[in-house]
A and B are shown apart, each in its own frame.
Chain A
Amino acid sequence: MTASTSSIASVMAGPAGHRGWRARLAAWRVPLSILALCLLPWLLPSNALAVNVLVYGLLAVGYNLLFGYTGLLSFGHAAFFGAGAYVTGIAIGRFGVPWFAALLLGVAAGAALAFVIGLLSIRTRGIYFSMVTLALSQLVYYTALQASSWTGGENGLRGFTVAKLDILGWSIDFLDPIKKYYVLMVFAAAALWLVSRILNSPFGAVIEAIRENETRARACGYDVERTKLIAFTLSGLICALAGTLFALHLAIVPLDILHYQTSGMIVMMTLLGGAGSFFGPFVGALAFLLMEDVVSLWTSHWQIVVGTVFILFVLFLPKGIWGTLIAWRADR
C-alpha cells in the first residue's frame, strides 16, 4: 500500500531512544493539533478559509484512519460526508430538530451508511475495493439527485440556517464567524482526540498490521474482514461529523459534495499531507485549500494546477509533505 509510511503509532510502541522526539511528538499530538486549530483563524488570510481547513482537515483525518492506517483506498467517502451534511440539514430544516440532536443524527446516519457500504465493498479484494466504493457512493449521489423533494436535488439543500446555538443556558451567536469557528472547532477537537485514542488502542495496532500484511494478520488470529468493517465504519463516522459541521457552517448542502470528485479531493488532501501520519491530513487540507485560494486568483482553472501537483506528488513524494518531513528528519 502507498500508505505504508512508517507511522507514528508504530513508533510509539518502541521505547524512547533515537526515535524519542517522535514518541514525544506523538504523545502531544492532540494538544498540539488543538493549539494549531485555535491559531488558524488568525494565521490564514480569511475566516472562510480557516473553517474550510477545519472541516476538510477533519474529513481527511477520518479518511486517513482507513487509507493511511488500514491501507484501504476508498473512493467513496464523499457518501459519508454528504450523508452527515444532508441528514443534519433535513433534520433541522424539515423537522425542526435541535441543532445538537441533528448533529448526532447526521453522524449516526453517516456511520450507518458506512457500515452498509463497507459490508458490500469489503467482500471484494484488492483493487476492486476502490471501484466498488466509488460506484456505491455514486449510487448515493444519484439517489440524492432523484429524491429532490427531500434533498433539493440539483439545487442543493437550503433553508436550515442556525442563527443561535443554545448550550446549557448559554446562547451563542452562530452568525458571528469567529464564534462559529470555535464552536465547530470544539467538535473537531473531540474527534481528533477520539481518533488519537483509536490509534493508540489495541485495535489501532490491528489495523496497522492488516495494512502491513493482511495474510499474516489473518494467520495471527485476526478476523481481517470484520476488523476492516469496523475501521470503515469508524472512518465513515468521523467523515460524517465533518459533514454535519460543514452543513451547520454553510447552511447549504450542495449536491456536489456527494459526487466522487469530492472523494477524490479527500484522497488528494490526505496524500498531499501524508497518509498514515496523524498531522498529515490537516497539512494536506491546508496545502490543498491554500493552493486553490492562491491559484484561483490567477486563473479559474485552478484544478489543472492542483491535479498536476498531485501527479507530481504520487510520482516523487508519495509520503506527502508531512510524511517526507518526518522521514527526512528521522534520517539525520
Chain B
Amino acid sequence: MNAPLLSVESISRRFGGFIALEGVTAAFEANKVTAIIGPNGAGKSTFFNVLSGVLAPSAGSIRFKGRDITGTPQHRFAHLGIARSYQITNIFPELSVHENVRVAAQAFRARYDIWRNRAVMTELDDRADAALAAVGLGGRRDGTAKFLAHGQQRALEIAIALVADPELLLLDEPTAGMGPEETKEMVALLERLAAERTILLVEHKMKMILGLSDRILVLHHGRLIADGSPQHIQTDPEVRRVYLGQNDGYA
C-alpha cells in the first residue's frame, strides 16, 4: 500500500454539547474514489467541512501528503491541493460562466495585484476554457452563471474546483437535486475524473455510489461504523441495521 494522500487521526468535532463527529480515523490513497455515506445527521457534512478546512477539528489531526495541516486556515487548503464542491450550489451568480472559473484559476497566480490588467493573463482564460470543456460547459462560457440550468450549475461548480488542478477533490453530493438525465451526465463526468484524480464524495444515491466507488465509509451518529469495498459494505450487518432501522429507503 502506498503512503496515503490524506489521513485523519481520531478527529472529533463538537458544537457546544453536541458531538457531530467522534474519533474518526481513516486514510485515503491517491487515485481512488471513496464515498462517504450515512443517514441524515450522521456527521457527513461535518466530516467534509473538517477535511476542507471550513471547520477545525475539536480534537485529532489531519495529514495531507505527510504534512500535518490541522488548524490551517480554510483559504490555504486550495493552495495545498484540496478543492471542494458544495451540497448547495455555490457559484458566483452574477458573473459570466467563464469568469466563475477564471477567477478560481487566478487564485494561484494573482490575489492582491491591483496594477496589472487581468486581460493580459490569457493563460488563465485558456485554463478556464479547458475546465469548462471538461465538464461540458464550453458552449455556455459567455452566459451569466445564474441563468444556467440546475445541472449545469452543478457542473460549473465542479469546473471551479477542477481548474485548481487539485490532488484531492471533495465533492459534496454532486447530484443533489438532479433528475435522472442530469444524474446520468454527472456520473459520466465523475467517471472521467476518477481516472486521474483522488475523489472523496458524499452521496445519497446508492446505486451510483456502488458503481463509482472503490471504497465506502459509513458514518452513523458521528462515528465511523464501517469502512471497506462496496461489496463488503453491502453485506455488513451493522450497516444494514442502521439503514433498515432508519427505513428511509437508501439501501
Contacts and interface: CB of A to CB of B under 8 A. Distances in A.
Tell whether any CB of A sits under 8 Å from a CB of B in the complex: yes
A202 B142 contact: no
B212 interface: no
A94 interface: no
Contact of A13 (B73, B96, B107, B116): B96
Contacts of A203: 110-114
B142 A14 contact: yes
B109 interface: yes
Nearest to A203: B114
B231 interface: no
Interface string B94-121: 1110110011101111111111111101
Interface stretch (B11-19, B75-83, B222-230): B75-83
B201 interface: no
B98 A14 contact: yes
Contact of A221 (B94, B117, B164): B164
Contact of B92 (A213, A221, A226, A234): A213
A126 interface: no
A209 B145 CA distance: 12
A224 B78 CA distance: 13
Given A201-B114, A202-B111, A202-B118, A224 B102 contact: no
A251 B119 CA distance: 42
A205 B77 CA distance: 20
A213 B90 CA distance: 7
A222 B96 contact: no
Most buried by A among B76, B99, B164: B99
A200 B99 contact: no
A217 B86 CA distance: 13
Contacts of A206: 103, 106, 111-112
A194 to B, nearest CB: 9
A10 B95 contact: yes
A213 B142 CA distance: 19
A10 B113 contact: no
Interface string A16-39: 010100000000000000000000
Contacts of B220: none
A197 interface: yes
Given A13-B102, A206-B103, A209-B103, A223 B96 contact: no
Interface residues of A, number: 39
Contact of A202 (B52, B83, B106): B106
A223 B78 CA distance: 11
Contacts of A230: 112, 114
Nearest to A212: B92
A11 interface: yes
Contacts of B121: 202
A209 B95 CA distance: 8
Contact of A11 (B73, B96, B113): B96
B118 A219 contact: no
B160 A216 contact: yes
A25 to B, nearest CB: 16
A220 interface: yes
Nearest to A202: B110
A216 B99 contact: no
B142 A197 contact: no
A60 to B, nearest CB: 20
Contacts of A197: 114-115, 117
Contacts of A219: 52, 74-75, 77-78, 83-84, 86, 90
Contacts of A13: 95-96, 98-99, 102, 118-119
A327 to B, nearest CB: 11
A202 to B, nearest CB: 4
Nearest to B83: A219
A130 interface: no
B141 to A, nearest CB: 8
Contact of A212 (B78, B94, B115): B94
The interface centre, meaning the residue of B52, B77, B117 with most chain A CB atoms within 10 A of its CB, is B117
Contact of A218 (B75, B108, B114, B144): B75
B111 to A, nearest CB: 6
Nearest to B99: A13
B93 interface: yes
Given A202-B106, A222-B107, A216 B114 contact: no
Interface in B117-147: 117-119, 121, 141-142, 144
A220 B86 CA distance: 12
B116 A202 contact: yes
Contacts of B109: 202
Given A213-B92, A215-B90, A216-B160, A222 B111 contact: yes
Which 7 pairs show the lowest CB-CB distances between chains A and B? A221-B78, A202-B110, A221-B107, A212-B92, A203-B114, A13-B99, A220-B104
19 contacts: A4-B94, A17-B142, A197-B117, A198-B114, A200-B117, A200-B118, A201-B114, A202-B114, A208-B92, A213-B92, A219-B52, A219-B74, A219-B75, A219-B84, A220-B78, A221-B79, A222-B111, A227-B111, A230-B112
